[in-house]
Amino acid sequence: MNKSTSNRLFFLASTATFLAFAAGCNNNEPPQVVADPPQVASPVVQQPTQPVPPVAQVPNQKVSNEVSRLLQTKQCAGCNLAGANLQNADLEDANLQGADLRQANLQQADLEKANLQGANLQGANLINANLEKANLQSANLQQANLQRADLEEANLNKANTTGANFQQADFEDTIMPDGNVRRR
């Protein structure tokens, strides 16, 4: 048996022993090691691989492209920006009509006069965001966090705000979801 095959068999036996040990462990019983004797199989050649990041951190190339386009042109109507990190972004006067911004990080973003009509902002982080004079008509703001957001003169008519956090948000002269204007 050559050295390479011997090393592979040792690795496979060690891995099998570790997996058996890990599978036998639980919080209530002492660990038990049960391992089958290693079986000789044809050598497996593995290509080196990069570690896979957790799903939440896997970059979506399409979203990355859409973010780049938005930051350069401020035009991204109907685009997929779900989960995008737009913290502190300058999006004043941006057109995001119908955009998918679910779970996006828009903390401290400048969205003054932005068109977010019909946008999906479900679960988005809009803490300290500037939404002054923004159009959020018919937007989905379910579970969005708008703590300390500036919504002065914004249009929230027919917006879905179920479960949204508006603590300390500024609603001066804002058109509320029911169509009424909130005066300070």
Residue 167 · residue 149 · CB < 8 Å: no
| Structure confidence by residue, pLDDT tens digits, 82-132 | 999 999 999 999 999 999 999 999 999 999 999 999 999 999 999 999 999
How many CB atoms within 10 Å of residue 8? 16
The domain containing residue 142 runs over which residues? 74-184
What is the β-pairing status of strands 181-182 and 174-175? Answer: antiparallel
* Sequence-distant (≥ 6) Cβ neighbours of residue 119 within 8 angstroms: 96, 97, 98, 99, 100, 101, 136, 139, 140
| pLDDT tier for residue 32 given thresholds of 50, 70 and 90 | very low
Residue 38's pLDDT band, with cuts at 50, 70 and 90, is very low
Count up the domains in the chain and report the number.
1
Within 13 Å of residue 36, how many CA atoms lie on the same side as its CB?
4
pLDDT tens column, 124-183? 999 999 999 999 999 999 999 999 999 999 999 999 999 999 999 999 999 999 999 987
In a domain, 85, yes or no: yes
Take residue 23 and report the two structure tokens written for it: 């599978």
Tell whether 110 is covered by a domain. Answer: yes
Question: Do the Cβ atoms of 90 and 110 come closer than 8 Å?
Answer: yes
Query: Would you say the C-alpha torsion 136, 114, 88, 131 has a positive or negative sign?
Result: negative
Asked if residue 64 is part of any domain, the answer here is no
- Report pTM: 0.68
- 3 — pLDDT class (breaks 50, 70, 90): low
Tell me, yes or no, whether 135 lies in a domain.
yes
Token representation of residue 18: 């570790």
Q: Is residue 41 one of the residues assigned to a domain? A: no
Residue 28: what residue type?
A: N
Q: What is the pLDDT of residue 43?
A: 39
Look at residue 131 and tell me if it is in a domain: yes
Q: Is residue 144 part of a domain?
A: yes
Residue type, 34: V
Q: Kindly report the CATH number assigned to the domain that includes residue 125.
A: 2.160.20.80
The residues near 100 (Cβ < 8 Å, ≥ 6 apart) are: 79, 80, 81, 82, 119, 120
**From 37-41, 68-72, 77-81, 118-122, the region with the lowest mean pLDDT:** 37-41
Q: Is 42 within the bounds of a domain? A: no
Which SS3 state, helix, strand or coil, does residue 15 take? helix
Tell me what pLDDT residue 183 has.
Answer: 78
- pLDDT attached to residue 62: 86
